[in-house]
Structure 1
């Protein structure tokens, strides 16, 4: 589970996003980092039982994202992220495809799929939807998927038609998508529960078919 102390650290960091405060509270950060790494280790073990693209031998520490922001090209010069995240859990041919767990007080979530694909990958995904759209529809229109993640087509779409496709295409709303993400908010209470890893792993298992479709589309 994610400890209350981890949430408390992140809440305090959001109010004190500066290097002096961070150095004074470095042990709290280290404890939060250890909590995230332990959670990642359990999650990897759980996912590896059902997802062949998850390597059970991956080092959990490598899946926990850095808290330090790259401020070189940003107007916001605050040095630290106010969230902690676990990613890079899978070994798809396209590293952008996979799962992403973000922890932030009142704003935590689990997500999977592919956010903002490159033009080359977007073209390949659209081609797969054009040829085999029924496969994606079976995934995203499954009652359980819709109940957990909402209407897949409601993500950000192009304002114009994608090149090469007509407005009357049966899957035009899928073809106009800019991202292909399954997303679900998680409460602090859900993540602090004893079965938090089991719950997150279960949600990832429902996202897995989407990841497989996207990976196959690009390859």
Structure 2
């Protein structure tokens, strides 16, 4: 399936209004139909991605929410989401697409890098942030994603000069790019290609970060 069906958004809207087990169980066959359509779309997208990247795994997330530690006890998500994992130790980062009425978006990058990876990234920015700035200021990147997003520290991390010219990059704890879609775009015949083009525009950023995270400060590979 190469497009998103209006019935999928309609189902998610009705689920949002009736987020309880009785309603869901009554409409479970309908959910299964829409889930199958979404999985088919994600498989078509994986094929597109593999034409310009290496995708190791596709994970389509379950509709059921884990409410054990949440104040929100509604049992079901009101969106469909899929994560595309890049292959091999060389290729870091991944691609995410979420379909939700009025709130659809794609994203990619590094949501919660461990302390070793975060330090490695910051050290790279400290030495020379020219390349990352060229990537995130490139017209194609800006047109698709706007700016590099993510939570930042309020001050310089320990061991880094707060007066560094690129301290705003060094203070970042996350490195995320996103692109939102209106429903009319989600339902368009060329939505698959639009998503793929945005993911393709993400590649220079992911490849740059991959190189950082698989080499030391001298550029020597740290993986086999």
**TM over 0.5, shorter chain:** yes
**TM-score, normalised with respect to structure 2:** 0.88
Preserved contact between residue 92 and residue 206 of structure 2 (Cα < 8 Å)? no
Distance 1:135 1:92 in 2: 24
**Is the counterpart of residue 174 in structure 1 residue 176 in structure 2?**
no
1:196, distance to aligned residue in structure 2 (A): 0.9
Question: Superposition pairs for residues 59-78 of structure 1, below 5 Å?
Answer: 62-78=58-74
Cα 1:103–1:92 change in 2 (3 A) is farther
Distance 1:96 1:33 in 2: 28
Distance 1:95 1:35 in 2: 29
Preserved contact between residue 96 and residue 115 of structure 1 (Cα < 8 Å)? no
What is the CA RMSD across the aligned residues, in angstroms?
Answer: 1.9
Distance 1:140 1:113 in 2: 12
Match of 1:10 among 9, 12, 16: 12
Distance 2:88 2:201 in 1: 17
Distance 2:91 2:212 in 1: 14
**TM-score, normalised with respect to structure 1:** 0.90
Cα 1:217–1:155 change in 2 (3 A) is same
1:45, distance to aligned residue in structure 2 (A): 0.9
- Residue 184 of structure 1 is matched in structure 2 by 179
Where 2:95 maps in the other structure, the secondary structure is strand
Where 2:55 maps in the other structure, the secondary structure is coil
Preserved contact between residue 40 and residue 63 of structure 1 (Cα < 8 Å)? no
Structure 2 gaps, min length 5: 215-224
Distance 1:212 1:79 in 2: 38
Where 2:204 maps in the other structure, the secondary structure is helix
1:9, distance to aligned residue in structure 2 (A): 0.9
Structure ranking higher in helix proportion = 1
Structure ranking higher in strand proportion = 2
Cα 1:24–1:30 change in 2 (3 A) is same
Match of 2:152 among 157, 160, 163: 157
1:150, distance to aligned residue in structure 2 (A): 1.1
1:10, distance to aligned residue in structure 2 (A): 0.8
- Residue 196 of structure 2 is matched in structure 1 by 201
Distance 1:127 1:144 in 2: 26
Question: Superposition pairs for residues 103-114 of structure 1, below 5 Å?
Answer: 103-114=99-110
Cα 1:87–1:137 change in 2 (3 A) is same
Higher Rg of the two aligned structures: 2
Preserved contact between residue 92 and residue 210 of structure 2 (Cα < 8 Å)? no
Cα 1:69–1:93 change in 2 (3 A) is farther
Distance 1:88 1:70 in 2: 22
Preserved contact between residue 55 and residue 84 of structure 2 (Cα < 8 Å)? no
Preserved contact between residue 114 and residue 214 of structure 1 (Cα < 8 Å)? no
Deviations 1:121-143 (A, max 9, x none): 21122122223422211211102
